[in-house]
Amino acid sequence: MDETALRLYRNRWVALLDDGSVLADADNLDALLTLLADLPDAKASIQRIPAADEPLFVGLR
């Protein structure tokens, strides 16, 4: 993952373009999807950038 995106967008939902740059970001998923609905179509991938000290997820319990 792009180091700049990691540094600037930790703990935020982002739409990442193929080159690793951030198309849009928001503090929750609904807000990001709302932003993206108003933008021109783009090939991007939506995820949340984890916090630097976030525990590692290992599954449901």
**Interacting residues toward another protein by CB under 8 A:** 1, 5-6, 10, 15, 23, 28-30, 33, 36-37, 41-50, 52-57, 59-61
Alpha-carbon distance 59 to 42, whole Å? 31
Handedness of CA 30, 32, 36, 42 (dihedral sign): negative
User: With contact defined as beta carbons under 8 Å apart, do 14 and 24 qualify?
Assistant: yes
19 versus 43: smaller Cβ distance to another protein: 43
**Closest separation in Å from C-beta 34 to another protein:** 9
19 versus 41: smaller Cβ distance to another protein: 41
21 versus 42: smaller Cβ distance to another protein: 42
The tokens of 29 are what? 């998923």
